[in-house]
Amino acid sequence: MKNAAFFERSALGRTLARFRRELAWVAVFSMFANLLMLTPTIYMMQVYDRVMVSGSEYTLAAVSLITVMLFLVMAFAEWARSRLLVRAGARFDEALNGEVFDASFESSLNGANRSPLQAFGDLTNLRQFLTGNGTFALVDLPWTPVYIAVMFLMHPWLGWTSIAFAVVMLVLAIVGNRIAAPGYKKVNDVQMESTGYLQSKLRNAETAHALGMLDNLRRHWLAIQQRLVQVQGEAAERTHRMQAITKYVQYSQQSLMLALGALLAIDGQISAGAMIAANALMGNALRPISLVVQTWKQFVDTRQSYARLEKLLEDHPAREATHVGDEVRGQLTLRQLQATAPGRELPILKGLDVEFRAGEVVAILGPSGAGKSTLARCLVGIWPDVSGQVLLDGHPLQEWSREALGPHIGYLPQDIELFDGTIAENIARFQPDRSEQVIEAAKRTGIHEMILRLPKGYDTPMGEAGGMLSGGQRQRIGLARAILGDPELVVLDEPNANLDDAGEQALVRTVRELKNRGRTVFMIVHQQHLLAAADRALFLENGQITRFLPLVAQNQANPGALAPVPNPNPARAGQNN
């Protein structure tokens, strides 16, 4: 950790480097605490070898007073270093949690991250280790040689014996870890499998019930659970065995050390005080080692957490927005846009080159799996694995500041994705104090009355993922959220999938109104009658644009009405123009 290059290597390293000064102070306080650890040893020697011999009560009082004062300093030093570390921990968390939060969300974008909560656990792990036993072990360990050196000063035999015991403890620690580590890893793996299995199946509870899948699911889960109990038992058994051996060695070492001291004292080589003191000193010398032993597993975990966090932050660095535009026209251009996905050989979108106009309504059509939803995600800049460019008003999307751009974008994903919260909060995109905009958006999408009819109106809670609303209601709330604040670019992925006739008519009205306001709208549709609201139709097949055609401008001529499809056959629509 002293290596400067280590700190410069990554964002995480650089953040850690900011705490070098705190670490130095902790080391200073630790120096005092450790030096003062020698106090009881020296006190014992004074009492046994001086006071008991001279019988001076005055000396006893003086020595005791000094000792108690030194203990006070020691207590202060220990308190000060703990406090320093706790504060550093809070600042460490503060410095990183925003970045980790952003990076976790980004890494979850195309569903690539299978355990998105991991990073938060890793951050806690790292903080707890750095501000607790990890650092204590690090700053205390260098003092073991000092204590041993003092033992050598008392008598070489005492020194050598303490080295021998230290080595035995270290070997025990290393062997113990070798034996225990694989067990812990197995437990971890099975535990993750178990929670992952439960989470995914509970989410589909309805289907599981309706289709009578419960028996099979339970059987599978019980098997996992059995395996978990078994590996846990094995790991615990090994750990306990090692613990028993370690305890045995510790007890033996204490008594044997005393025996050696007694031998030397009988022989007249050391005093009775030194005999007792050596024993206490041995405890001091071995304390950091046993701390390392105890925290070894934590250390291994923390190292893994560190590596995972470092990779996450490296893969998803905080982006510097180079273009922070206030004005958005909503003109999109695709240049050789390729979209791929991890674990997929062929690209999903295969080099799309197309220019859209600001203020036009584009319908995107194509068979299932053609890549329509992927294109929609690219258009709003949330598909991570792309090459080529998506230009918004001539600037690559990734150069825009996401925060600044967000209010200018309306996006309704295919599976809607409402959040736990009230209807108003969802439509407001969780921005505070937007009730006017929320009501306006609801009115423009024709759901204001429907919301008012709900038991708590706009304050009706959604439940997780909007589970307390009907499919159509969810879709229309998603639409209202998409057009909140009148964004310039609106992308709707199958916005009518769950709608009835009235809902579809309201949708067409909303889209037409967006067009009249000069907004650019992309909507993925399956039913051709929704083309009534569109200016051009883009046909996507197998990741390629097969046709991109203007539709007859009947809808502009006849805005209010739900116009019949100008020409349901797109091939002929092209000839009409």
Ligand X SMILES: Nc1ncnc2c1ncn2[C@@H]1O[C@H](COP(=O)(O)OP(=O)(O)OP(=O)(O)O)[C@@H](O)[C@H]1O
Residues that bind ligand X (CB under 6 A): 110-111, 341, 344, 348, 366, 368-374, 414
Stretch that binds Mg ion, among 2-10, 348-356, 413-421, 527-535 (CB under 5 A): 413-421
133 interface partner picked from ligand X, Mg ion, none, CB below 5 to 8 A per type: none
Question: Nearest approach, Cβ of 524 to Mg ion (angstroms)?
Answer: 6
CA atoms within 13 A on the CB side of 157: 15
Question: Nearest approach, Cβ of 490 to Mg ion (angstroms)?
Answer: 17
Question: Nearest approach, Cβ of 543 to ligand X (angstroms)?
Answer: 7
Stretch that binds Mg ion, among 32-40, 69-77, 112-120, 369-377 (CB under 5 A): 369-377
Closest CA to 564 of 550, 577, 572, 552: 552
CA 159 to chain centre: 48
**228/341 with CB nearer ligand X:** 341
Q: What share of the chain is helix, strand, coil (3-state, %, to 5)?
A: 65, 10, 25
566, 573 contact by CB (below 8 A): yes
**372/444 with CB nearer Mg ion:** 372
Question: Nearest approach, Cβ of 539 to ligand X (angstroms)?
Answer: 11
By CB under 5 A, name the one of 39, 232, 294, 414 that touches Mg ion.
414
3-state DSSP assignment of residue 362: strand
431 interface partner picked from ligand X, Mg ion, none, CB below 5 to 8 A per type: none
CA atoms within 13 A on the CB side of 122: 22
d(CA 407, CA 318): 20
Residue at token pair 């045995």: 248
Residues 257-276 that bind Mg ion (CB under 5 A): none
By CB under 5 A, name the one of 135, 246, 331, 373 that touches Mg ion.
373
d(CA 539, CA 543): 10
**111/432 with CB nearer ligand X:** 111
> Directed axis angle between helix 57-107 and helix 39-46, to 10°?
170
CA dihedral over 499, 501, 506, 509, signed as positive or negative: positive
41 interface partner picked from ligand X, Mg ion, none, CB below 5 to 8 A per type: none
Residue 111, both tokens? 């569903």
**111/455 with CB nearer ligand X:** 111
**110/498 with CB nearer ligand X:** 110
CA dihedral over 100, 105, 109, 114, signed as positive or negative: positive
Q: Which residues pair with 354 in a beta bridge?
A: 334
**301/494 with CB nearer Mg ion:** 494
CB atoms within 10 A of CB 269: 15
d(CA 193, CA 198): 9
**406/413 with CB nearer Mg ion:** 413
Closest CA to 567 of 539, 515, 532: 532
**172/379 with CB nearer ligand X:** 379
**26/375 with CB nearer Mg ion:** 375
**43/539 with CB nearer ligand X:** 539
Question: Nearest approach, Cβ of 493 to ligand X (angstroms)?
Answer: 7
Question: Nearest approach, Cβ of 524 to ligand X (angstroms)?
Answer: 7
200 interface partner picked from Mg ion, ligand X, none, CB below 5 to 8 A per type: none
Question: Nearest approach, Cβ of 88 to Mg ion (angstroms)?
Answer: 48
**199/368 with CB nearer Mg ion:** 368
370 interface partner picked from Mg ion, ligand X, none, CB below 5 to 8 A per type: ligand X
d(CA 3, CA 161): 34
H or E element, residue 544: strand 544-550
273, 44 contact by CB (below 8 A): yes
Question: Nearest approach, Cβ of 347 to ligand X (angstroms)?
Answer: 9
Q: From the CA atom positions of the chain, what is the Rg in Å?
A: 35
Q: What is the DSSP string of 97-157?
A: HHHHHHHHHHHTTTS--S-TTHHHHHHHHHHHHHTTHHHHHHHHTTHHHHHHHHHHHH-HH
Question: Nearest approach, Cβ of 525 to Mg ion (angstroms)?
Answer: 11
Position closest to Mg ion via CB:
373
Question: Nearest approach, Cβ of 331 to ligand X (angstroms)?
Answer: 23
Question: Nearest approach, Cβ of 108 to ligand X (angstroms)?
Answer: 11
d(CA 424, CA 16): 41
Which stretches of the chain bind Mg ion, using CB under 5 A? Answer: 372-373, 414
